[in-house]
Amino acid sequence: MAKRVEFDFDQEGKRSFRKKVLKEILVWGLQIAAVIFLAYFIIYYALEKTAMVGVSMEATLNDGDEIIINKLTYRITDPRRFDVVVFKQSGKEHSYYDIKRIIGLPGEKLQIEDGKIYINGEVTEDIINADVMNNYGLADEEITLEENEYFVLGDNRNNSEDSRFASVGTIRREEIIGKAFIRLKPFNFINKLNLKKEEPLPEEE
C-alpha cells in the first residue's frame, strides 16, 4: 500500500514569500548602491557647482554667477586655448576657485606688446570683446611656458589678477579642476558668452 505524503502548503508559501522579500531587498539595495555610486561619480569626476568670485571675468561672468564645472573633459583631453577654466592653486589661502581664460599653452612663448598678445612671435587674435590691456605685468617680457604650464587672463583685462602678476603666475595642469561649462542664471553655455562673432567655436575633440 502506497504511503500517503502530505504537502505542507503553508510552509511552502512562507518559503516563497521569504524568497520574494529577500529578492526585493537585494534589488532595493543594489539600486541604492547604484545611486550612491552615480552621485559620487558626478560630484568627484564629472560635474560640480561653484560661483564666480569677483569681477575679473566680466563681461563673460559676473560676481556671484553660479556655474557648472565639467570635470570630466580634462580627464580625456587637454585644455585648449580660450577655454575658461576653473583652478585652485596650491598654497593659496582662500577657499574659492579661480576662474580665468587660457591664452598660452604648454611649451609656448608668450608676450604682450602694444596691447596685442604674441604667441611664438605671432599675434593671437582674441575671440572675446575685451578692453585693450594697459598693464602687461610679467608678460611685458617674453615668457616661456613649461610643459605643464598655462598662461591665463581674466576677460576683464584691466581689472584682473591673473598670470601677468606674480601673485598668480602661470598655472599648472594638475591645478585645473575643470572647464567652466554652464552659467545657470541666465542659462547659457560659457563658451558662447561675450564672443566677438556669432560664429561657433571649433568642435571639441
From CA 29, how far away is CA 72, in angstroms rounded? 28
State the pLDDT at residue 55.
97
State the pLDDT at residue 205.
42
Taking only Cα atoms into account, the Rg of the chain, rounded to an integer number of angstroms, comes to 27
Of the residues 56, 71, 160, 179, only one is catalytic, namely: 56
Is residue 100 within 8 Å of 58, Cβ to Cβ?
no
Of the residues 71, 95, 100, 196, only one is catalytic, namely: 100
pLDDT in tens, 163-191: 999 999 999 999 999 999 999 999 999 99
- What ranges do the domains of the chain cover? 10-48, 52-192
**CB-facing half-sphere around the CA of 91: CA atoms within 13 A:** 5
State the pLDDT at residue 4.
58
pLDDT in tens, 87-142: 998 777 667 899 999 999 999 999 999 999 999 999 999 999 999 999 999 999 99
Bridge pairing between strands 171-172 and 149-153: antiparallel
Residue 36 pLDDT exceeds 80: no
Q: Which residues pair with 189 in a beta bridge?
A: 182
Is residue 154 within 8 Å of 52, Cβ to Cβ?
no
Residue 203 pLDDT class (50, 70, 90 cuts): low
| Residue closest to 154 by CA, chosen among 99, 108, 196, 88 | 99
Lowest mean pLDDT among 50-54, 64-68, 94-98, 143-147: 94-98
- Superfamily of structural domain 52-192: Umud Fragment, subunit A (2.10.109.10)
23 is catalytic: no
From CA 157, how far away is CA 135, in angstroms rounded? 9
State the pLDDT at residue 198.
53
From CA 107, how far away is CA 119, in angstroms rounded? 10
160 is catalytic: no
